Amino acid sequence: MTTYDADFWEKQYQATDPTWGTTPNAPLVATIPRLRLHPGRALELGAGHGGDALWLAAQGWAVTALDVAHTAVDRIARRAADEGLADSVTAVRCDVTADPLPPGPFDLVWGSFFYAPDREAVVRRAAESVTPGGVLLIVDHGSAAPWSWSSASDYEFPTPAQLAESLEVGPDWTPEILEAPQRIATGPNGQQAEVTDTIVALRRTRRS
């Protein structure tokens, strides 16, 4: 059985074309304007090659991008420097299940297709650093693309409401977007397929 630990992700990135995943995820780009947030401080869980982080930084955000894979973090930092965004992107090697998370407050904490052991606990811990008025945004797969690295074909993807509930962030949050839109996605070899995304955006109303 595959263990999705630091070693797994390191090898994944070493074997992956550095340009893969460098464009922002379409659901994130579509969702951010709907959140009506002024660019502030943002924290990303499982940033990969940093497509989202670099895009947000280009929109004026100060982004801290976390990933367990050194290769991914190094590539984000290099690209940020190449694109003149080094002052706006801090790429940090961090195992979010075990290491301390950067101190907030953050106006936005998000993860796109971020999966890790005990992910709900990680997300809850990260959500603590969201300032009142800020947003916790999770973009997940709502279906398996044909090129997915996970081969579990009988897996039932949670609905947005189920996903939001599973996070158990408590009474200080209100659901703002719970949606499962479909789109045509492009895989690593240029192949195309219809996929479903699960989008959960929760706004922090107060800090109790």
Ligand X SMILES: C[S@@+](CC[C@H](N)C(=O)[O-])C[C@H]1O[C@@H](n2cnc3c(N)ncnc32)[C@H](O)[C@@H]1O
Interface residues with ligand X (CB under 6 A)? 9, 21, 25, 46-48, 51, 66-69, 72, 94-97, 112-116
185, exposed or middle or buried, with CB in 10 Å at 0-12, 13-18, 19+?
buried
Please identify, using beta-carbon distances, which residue of 47 and 200 lies nearer to ligand X: 47
CA distance 121 to 45: 12
Pick the closer one to ligand X by CB: 123 or 205. Answer: 123
- Nearest distance, CB of residue 5 and ligand X, angstroms: 8
Q: How far is the CB of 66 from ligand X (least distance, A)?
A: 6
Q: Which of 120, 99, 205 is nearest to 168 (CA)?
A: 120
Question: Smallest distance from the beta carbon of 89 to ligand X, in angstroms?
Answer: 14
CA 89 to chain centre: 15
57 backbone dihedrals φ, ψ, rounded to 5°: -60, -40
Measured from the CB of residue 185, what is the shortest distance to ligand X in angstroms? 11
Of 9 and 106, nearer to ligand X (C-beta) is 9
| Nearer Cβ to ligand X (97/129) | 97
Residue 170 makes CB contacts below 8 A (sequence gap 6+) with: 208
Closer residue to ligand X in complex, CB, 6/172? 6
Q: What is the C-alpha separation between 202 and 99, in angstroms, rounded?
A: 24
From the list 37, 35, 16, the residue with the least C-alpha distance to 27 is: 35
Shortest reach from residue 202's CB to ligand X, in Å: 18
- The tokens 């407050």 sit on which residue? 105
**DSSP label at residue 23:** S
